[in-house]
Homo-oligomer: A and B are copies of this chain.
Amino acid sequence: MSSETLKIPQATAKRLPLYYRFLKNLHSAGKLRVSSAELSEAVKVDSATIRRDFSYFGALGKKGYGYNVDYLLSFFRKTLDQDELTKVALVGVGNLGTALLNYNFLKNNNTKISVAFDIDEAKIGSTMSGVTIYHMDDMEKVLTELGITIAILTVPAPFAQSITDRLAQANVKGILNFTPARLTVPATMRVHHIDLAVELQSLVYFLKHYGVNEVEELEEVEE
């Protein structure tokens, strides 16, 4: 409902970063062209789906040839706003939070954890992986000053909702929620969940109940 490119399906939007990453790989490997079939093999998405996804942005390829890697790459770089750095806050510097601090988001995306918050006095004022840790009491102030609108939430579940409310106050628009809590947020915010326990548990369920494709043809499959 905003911006240039009109209404890409959500499912497509979720695959864009994936395409982008693999295109970068191809580029580094010196490949000049690529077909939807090749790309399909690499990212494990049906080739028709890939062509359809690309087609939302216009005709990016050439019939009988495929796609020019450099062109596609620079197109996606623009589309994904990879030219400007996106600053993100980390809220909660526990085990998982620390791991995410060390995880180099920058390498693949132009996204960086620029600031972190916690309540542990031992951590406050120190830096980890070059990121300064502030007290959560100063969260609103610091976020507003830095103009950060995206937060990664890795606090204990019982605090998740109240902290979310404060993030909303501080004009944060997006939360990547690693907490098991299901957050209530204003309509102006967007939450993506990564629920580790649910992910693991549902994998277990699938294996036990959907059983393991009774080796009929033994072709290669995915997800």
**Using a CB–CB distance below 8 Å, which chain A residues touch chain B?**
1-3, 5, 8, 10, 13-14, 16-18, 20-22, 42-44, 80-81, 86, 88, 95-96, 98-100, 102-103, 105, 108-109, 111, 149-150, 152, 173-174, 176, 180, 182-223
Do A215 and B193 touch (CB < 8 A)? Answer: no
Given contacts A187-B217, A213-B187, A222-B183, is CB(A207)–CB(B17) below 8 Å?
Answer: no
Nearest 5 CB-CB pairings of A with B? A2-B211, A17-B201, A99-B99, A95-B99, A95-B102
**Residue from A21, A42, A99 having most chain B Cβ neighbours under 10 A:** A99
Instruction: Chain B residues near A210: list those with CB within 8 A.
Output: 1-3, 13, 190
Question: What would 8 more interface pairs be, CB under 8 Å, given A186-B220, A194-B199?
Answer: A16-B205, A18-B195, A21-B197, A95-B103, A149-B207, A150-B204, A176-B203, A187-B217
How many whole Å from A112's CB to the nearest CB in chain B?
Answer: 10
Instruction: Chain B residues near A184: list those with CB within 8 A.
Output: 44, 220, 222
Do B105 and A200 touch (CB < 8 A)? Answer: yes
Q: How many copies does the complex hold?
A: 2
Q: Provide the bound-state CA to CA distance between A80 and B208, in Å.
A: 9
Do A5 and B209 touch (CB < 8 A)? Answer: yes
Do B193 and A223 touch (CB < 8 A)? Answer: yes
Given contacts A201-B17, A205-B16, is CB(A220)–CB(B173) below 8 Å?
Answer: no
Instruction: Chain B residues near A199: list those with CB within 8 A.
Output: 176, 192, 194
Given contacts A44-B182, A197-B21, A204-B174, is CB(A187)–CB(B1) below 8 Å?
Answer: no
